Amino acid sequence: MKKNLGSTDKVIRYILAIVALFIGFLSGVSGFVQGIFISVALILIGTSLLSFCPLYAIVGLKTCKNEQ
């Protein structure tokens, strides 16, 4: 699994994950919608920690500078 996420992309994903978690837990949504927000946040955090996005790999997109 080659890394395909750059540092800017990871920061944006972390920020979006925080927003999704905030909406999921504190905005008053519940049930299925809350589960979607929390799931999206977990996926964003996971891809950022691994520096790998499966969707980027399928599309052939790469935002990191170094070949790893």
Least Cα distance to 22 among 35, 32, 37 occurs for 37
Q: Where are the domains of the chain?
A: 7-59
Packing angle, helices 32-50 and 7-26, rounded to 10: 160
Least Cα distance to 22 among 34, 10, 9 occurs for 34
Instruction: Give the pLDDT confidence of 17-62 residue by residue, as tens digits.
Output: 999 999 999 988 889 999 999 999 999 999 999 999 999 999 999 9
What pTM was estimated for this model as a whole? Answer: 0.86
Q: Which two tokens stand for residue 64?
A: 């990191």
d(CA 68, CA 63): 12
